Amino acid sequence: MQTRPIYKFNSCISIYRNGHVEIIANYQGNRITLSWVSFTDGGECLIGEAAKNQAAANPERTIYDAKRLIGR
């Protein structure tokens, strides 16, 4: 039995057009993006799954759970 909740923070962007809401896909074609951001040594900004994949190799330049911190 699980004793604490599991939180997943994702982001999505939508627009209201022609009488309905349309969720916009990200650069990878996904409609939901993980709320992770990472900056490479070369200055490239990675978001979503790419940032999460970079986290183990570059933890000091990777940000996640920021929404939880803002909500305190």
Supply φ then ψ for residue 55, to 5 degrees.
-60, -40
User: CATH fold of 10-70, please?
Assistant: Nucleotidyltransferase; domain 5 (3.30.420)
| pLDDT for the residue numbered 53 | 92
| pLDDT for the residue numbered 5 | 46
Q: List per-block mean pLDDT (blocks of 10 residues) for the chain, which spans 72 residues.
A: 56 92 90 90 91 92 81 68
| pLDDT for the residue numbered 22 | 94
Helix (H) or strand (E) holding 63: strand 62-64
Measure the CA–CA gap between 63 and 46, rounded to whole angstroms: 10
| pLDDT for the residue numbered 72 | 67
pTM: 0.65
Measure the CA–CA gap between 59 and 44, rounded to whole angstroms: 15
| pLDDT for the residue numbered 65 | 79
Cβ–Cβ < 8 Å for 51, 37? yes
